[in-house]
Amino acid sequence: MVTRKECIDPFQTDSVLLDQMLDWSRQHIRNGPDPRSGAKSFASLQRLLGDSITEDGMKGDAAFALFTDVIVPSTRPLNHPSSLSFVPAAPTPAALAFDAALSSAEIFAGNWDGASGAIHAENQALSWLADLAGWPATAGGVFVAGGTNGNLSALHAARVAWLKHHKNRPPLWQILCSAEAHSSIDAVARVMDAELLVIPADDTGCMDIDKARDALAAATGVFAIVANAGATNCGAIDDIAALADMAAHFDIWLHVDGAYGLAALADPRTRPQFSGIERADSFIVDPHKWLFSPFDSCALVYRNHLLGAQAHGQQGVYLDTLDQQAWNPSDYALHLTRRARGLPLWFSLVLYGTRAFASAIAQTINIAEQIAEGIKRQDNLQLILGPQLTVILFRANAIADEALDSWAEQQRRSGAMLCLPTSWRGEKVLRLCIVNPKTDPEYVLNVLKTLG
Ligand SMILES: Cc1ncc(COP(=O)(O)O)c(C=O)c1O
């Protein structure tokens, strides 16, 4: 008997397996995820996956079944319309299918040489975002894996720019941000060995501008201000115009963290809430959050792309043959090899047009407003805040803290809804974040009726 190893050539196309995998993808995109799927314990995964990696390998259909029958059902389907916790996802079926095609093309998109067409197209999507922000033709950047990397790369560029204009390093590097800044800003500060100058937020979660001004006047090592454009926990948008004035006055970089919220730049009715962004130095927005694209994708844009390139360009003798003058995405963030993860956004923009994005964002905001109105009308609930963009905070009048967790777990398990508690001003409350135009407000309000 021959062993599997002797008879299988991994580089020989197994058409049956290929068709099986492509058929599954087609069906999965058509049907959408199962809202009841979710994390399994280590022990049960150990049992279900067994010793999956062996010397001889296993038959194709059995190997793929581990993915379809074990791995996928043990994941949280953030892109289901009833998934309303964290910042969920809502990729269009076309964007998901395009992403599968993109993966098949196996494009190295770190430099122009490897992916000129893909990079040119990605840059068109970045230009659309830069235009919405009112930025000049000098704007440009790159798609990175997520908001955390986007924030890190932007803030590194901010510090390099600061060093160009100042002779001496301060004894302590500082980044000024709101108490409602995303946890990634704290993570970035730790990586950069910088201190966070955390400014308290007001009752709606916006940075207190007077306190920020006082803190800046007293500080000596601040090289960047981070403004929230849609704080994750409460949806607050800081007064970006006031922060732009401050950044100009103190000659420091203004970075706007719009990983979730800046998608709403696409909606002309909401755009004025970001007033002042036209004077910022960098921003991020994650297409995988509220721009209907698949994981993982964060658009990082610099007002002057050269400042990004000064901070991030990599040199190496084996890279010398590349055209350094060309647009090389590896110059704009902390990475070299990358997939062209901005292309699904570009494809959706090409396919549907920018008006469809504007109306999908507006529709989502409308859904959040209907849910908040419904919460106000329900005796068992009390609206605390929102919607700010599409985030809503509320309390269940008759439910004790401990019971909230079991209610949320029950809803998750049954597939009814993902609505997890968060904390607001020290109180355990419920939070919804809507990014999917297919979320049904009546359905959500009916589920919330079960809260006592
Ligand atoms: C405002 C904000 N910034 C940054 C991040 C981090 O983004 P990512 O999870 O893509 O790294 C998030 C994630 O939810 C966010 O909401």
- Residue range of the domain that includes 179: 98-353
Neighbours of 124 (CB within 10 A): 14
In a domain, 274, yes or no: yes
Same domain for 394 and 329: no
* 78, 184, 240, 255: residue to mutate for ligand 1 pocket, most atoms within 8 A of CB: 184
Domain end, chosen from 353, 373, 394, is at: 353
Same domain for 280 and 138: yes
In a domain, 275, yes or no: yes
Q: Is 184 in the pocket of ligand 1 (CB under 6 A)?
A: yes
| pLDDT tens column, 330-355 | 999 999 999 999 999 999 999 999 99
Same domain for 276 and 415: no
Task: Specify the pLDDT at position 10.
Answer: 81
Same domain for 371 and 289: no
Reported as a pLDDT band with limits 50, 70 and 90, residue 11 is confident
In a domain, 42, yes or no: yes
* 76, 233, 260: residue to mutate for ligand 1 pocket, most atoms within 8 A of CB: 260
Domain end, chosen from 321, 353, 385, is at: 353
Q: Is 146 in the pocket of ligand 1 (CB under 6 A)?
A: yes
| pLDDT tens column, 88-126 | 999 999 999 999 999 999 999 999 999 999 999 999 999
Ligand 1 atom nearest the C-alpha of 258 is 1
Same domain for 272 and 133: yes
Q: What is the mean pLDDT of residues 362-385?
A: 98
Same domain for 216 and 150: yes
Same domain for 180 and 274: yes
Same domain for 297 and 155: yes
Q: Quick check: 5 pLDDT over 70?
A: no
Same domain for 276 and 199: yes
In a domain, 9, yes or no: no
Q: Is 260 in the pocket of ligand 1 (CB under 6 A)?
A: yes
Domain end, chosen from 284, 319, 353, is at: 353
Longest dimension (CA), the chain: 80
In a domain, 1, yes or no: no
Same domain for 288 and 277: yes
In a domain, 86, yes or no: no
Same domain for 372 and 288: no
Q: What is the mean pLDDT of residues 46-69?
A: 95
Tally the domains of the chain: 3
Task: Specify the pLDDT at position 1.
Answer: 43
- φ, ψ (nearest 5 deg) of residue 410: -65, -45
Q: What is the pTM of this model?
A: 0.97
Q: Residues 429, 431, 432, CA angle at the centre, nearest 5°?
A: 160
